[in-house]
Structure 1
């Protein structure tokens, strides 16, 4: 069972993962056959997440998931010195973390991940980039589940509410991908209209903006992931938001006729003093619209006196 899980783990590794033998000296990148010998290794690919990984810093972490009624991990990787462990849940279908237009599945995955993290009481500061390498003899490895999970299967185990009400922590795990995508794309929709830059210049601008948002996270995403998100947004907006298409949109939605119709509709909806709502009529004086002007007092004083039922004197 453990051999099967290990084979699956190795098969799904990135071609050039991050790795480390001592985290005090940071991480490096190497070919898979070198990285697989290290104590720590990157276990998910840059834009495809095959594993939900959790860092549980307490003694007995490799076993107490059962006491918490959490679904069984695919396998646990325990530090024999202190009993702390990394728990990995293998997914049948990888989660696409480079947002190429489908943010809803990513949000759903982030909600499931967060619910499972809470169930396990796992470390909220865990970056999820690297894990204890189950191939290394330093760790104690146990396999618990042979069948790969779907997100729905995990969600059923976690007793989640409807998808629209699920909680997502924007500073943890996949929640960071969602948050970074949302913030950067909203900025991009407005910013691209300021000069309509060439693609390379626009990509750099999106990347710089995404990096700035990323630095706001307690545990920022890896720069490769940030670049992937920026690239997706830059590509889409640069192809869809052109000066010609924007001008065409404005012409279609803001013609004088459309504006006239909107004005007529607006006049029928609530206004300031007109009976039953509506905008002030042309013959309404400024004094009737703003009575504090006629009284020669400030707007604040007018409403204060009105609230206190005080007498108005001109």
Structure 2
């Protein structure tokens, strides 16, 4: 199956689209939206495509000049040569709160490094791209096989271990990581202030997420912010309530504490550490239980 057909298949059910940015974006069903010149390639919960914006007259071949991996698709403007480069992921990255943290951070590090290698526009939001289905653009398919994250990392000397060492950047998927981290860290503490009902809590999470988002140099689309806020609100409201919290803080025996935290399986060590700190555990307890350094714990405390 060609990548253009896959692009059509993976479009969101109701994507943003337009023929002219001056006239603004519209939302319609996929069958209508896919005919537009510009369309939303990814929905708010999954990232199938990593897209870069190159404002260069030679954008169609610039990737080869700098030693970047071949894009799956390039949609180029016939008037000036500027293009969007689209890389298809073999396994889409889940950007919702219930997705695994490690692949999201790995993908964010790869996206930022590849953006730097290509010299792509860091101000590009990624919300919409030149639609390779539309005949207005010059479209080329360079690579027919979707990429794994490791495939892309081979061009960047960026292993998962090295990706963990790199700070998350305010760009692309990095914004999703930062929004998750900031909103979750706030939510773990804030929900204890009155234990609000779900609708009140959802509105509070949305307000807080919107506030974090406007501080990004290129904010996320509001649909992604709403989805993140809803995911955080739903998870924390289900897992944090007066009964479970009081029961948690009343436990003093190490084995009981470990058993309680074992219910939080599937979380990264970092998130477990944040849970422990926000729930009253000491630095020493976190160090001992998670086998991490004092420096790491203080980093979690100061910059969740």
Q: What TM-score, normalized by structure 2, do the two folds share?
A: 0.80
1 CA distance for matches of 2:247 and 2:213?
Answer: 34
1:144 aligns with 142
Gaps of 5+ in 2: 254-280, 285-304
With 118-127 and 229-238 compared, the bigger mean Cα shift is at 229-238
2 CA distance for matches of 1:242 and 1:71?
Answer: 48
Cα drift, residue 253 of structure 1: 3.5
1 CA distance for matches of 2:167 and 2:147?
Answer: 20
The SS at the match of 2:84 is strand
1:101/1:43 Cα in 2 relative to 1: closer, same or farther (>3 Å)? closer
Larger radius of gyration: 1
Cα drift, residue 163 of structure 1: 3.1
2:202 aligns with 203
1:187-243: per-residue Cα shift (whole Å, max 9, x none)? 101100100011111111111100111111121111111111111111111111111
2 CA distance for matches of 1:194 and 1:10?
Answer: 46
1:5 aligns with 3
The SS at the match of 1:64 is helix
1:106/1:132 Cα in 2 relative to 1: closer, same or farther (>3 Å)? same
The SS at the match of 1:90 is strand
Q: 4+ residue runs of structure 1 moved beyond 6 angstroms?
A: none
The SS at the match of 1:141 is strand
2:166 aligns with 166
With 131-140 and 172-181 compared, the bigger mean Cα shift is at 131-140
Cα drift, residue 167 of structure 1: 4.4
Which one of the candidate residues 41, 50, 54 is aligned to 1:52? 50
Gaps of 5+ in 1: 255-261, 266-314
2 CA distance for matches of 1:121 and 1:166?
Answer: 19
Cα drift, residue 249 of structure 1: 1.8
Q: What TM-score, normalized by structure 1, do the two folds share?
A: 0.78
1:153-188: per-residue Cα shift (whole Å, max 9, x none)? 11112111523213431x211000000011101110
1 CA distance for matches of 2:99 and 2:81?
Answer: 41
When the two chains are superposed, the root-mean-square deviation of aligned CA atoms in Å is 1.7
2 CA distance for matches of 1:174 and 1:124?
Answer: 12
1:184 aligns with 183
Contact 1:160 1:166 (C-alpha < 8 Å) held by counterparts:
no
